[in-house]
């Protein structure tokens, strides 16, 4: 038999402790995300994996918003975020500061997530694109690489909230060691 833990048994951080915690060197850019529920879910995933920051760009909604809050469950208060009008300009700025920038997209020469390796000493940025159009070619032209999450069914895309969770867990296991 397995007894379910109560919330007080989970040793969760409060917001102040979370803010003071050492974050994983991982940043997300949400580029023109339509769904506010997706935005909220990415916040929640980012809280779970100590993501350093989320940039909300273009048409992506920003907190506070009822639909974001519904999925985020308070993580908009714990995870650092900033709105930036242009993903393109943001990526150029982050590159100047030494970040490694990867798009999560399907391209002819993308790297399978299984084959993606993480080097210590660098900060990583993952760009997630619009639910319908994906990441623009303009953005793909300036990133350091493209990561593809392998899929084997009839659909050729995953929800951005699922992608952010998969990328977060994969990064965490590779960065911290299995």
Question: What confidence tens digit (pLDDT) does each residue in 117-128 have?
Answer: 999 999 999 999
Q: Is residue 99 part of a domain?
A: yes
Count up the domains in the chain and report the number.
1
In whole angstroms, give the CA distance from residue 14 to residue 22: 14
pTM of the complete model beyond 0.75: yes
Q: How far is CA 148 from CA 2, 59, 100, in A?
A: 36, 24, 16
Q: Is residue 166 part of a domain?
A: yes
**Residue 68 and residue 76 in contact, taking contact as beta carbons nearer than 8 Å:** yes
pLDDT of residue 178: 56
Q: Is residue 92 part of a domain?
A: yes
Q: What is the CATH number of the domain that holds 31?
A: 3.40.1280.10
Residue 38: CB atoms within 10 Å: 24
**DSSP 8-state assignment for residue 22:** P
| Beta bridge mates, 127 | 29, 103
Which residues have C-beta within 8 Å of that of residue 78, sequence separation ≥ 6? 13, 15, 18, 19, 47
Question: What confidence tens digit (pLDDT) does each residue in 4-23 have?
Answer: 999 888 989 999 999 999 99
Cis bond leading into 64, ω under 30°?
yes
Q: Is residue 71 part of a domain?
A: yes
């Amino acid at each position: 038999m397995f007894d379910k833990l109560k919330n007080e048994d989970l040793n969760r951080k409060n917001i102040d402790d979370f803010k003071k915690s050492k974050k994983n060197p991982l940043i997300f850019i949400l580029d023109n995300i339509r769904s506010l529920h997706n935005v909220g879910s990415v916040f929640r995933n980012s809280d779970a994996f100590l993501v350093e920051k989320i940039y909300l760009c273009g048409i992506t909604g920003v907190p506070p918003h009822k639909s974001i809050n519904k999925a985020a469950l308070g993580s908009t208060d714990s995870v650092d975020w900033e709105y930036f009008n242009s993903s393109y300009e943001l990526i150029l700025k982050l590159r100047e500061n030494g970040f490694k920038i990867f798009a999560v997209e399907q391209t002819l020469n993308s790297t399978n997530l299984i084959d993606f390796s993480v080097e210590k000493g660098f900060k990583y940025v993952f760009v997630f694109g619009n639910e319908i159009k994906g990441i623009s070619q303009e953005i793909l032209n300036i990133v350091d690489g493209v990561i593809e999450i392998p899929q084997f069914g009839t659909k050729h895309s995953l929800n951005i909230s699922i992608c952010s969770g998969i990328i977060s867990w994969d990064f965490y296991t590779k960065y911290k060691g299995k």
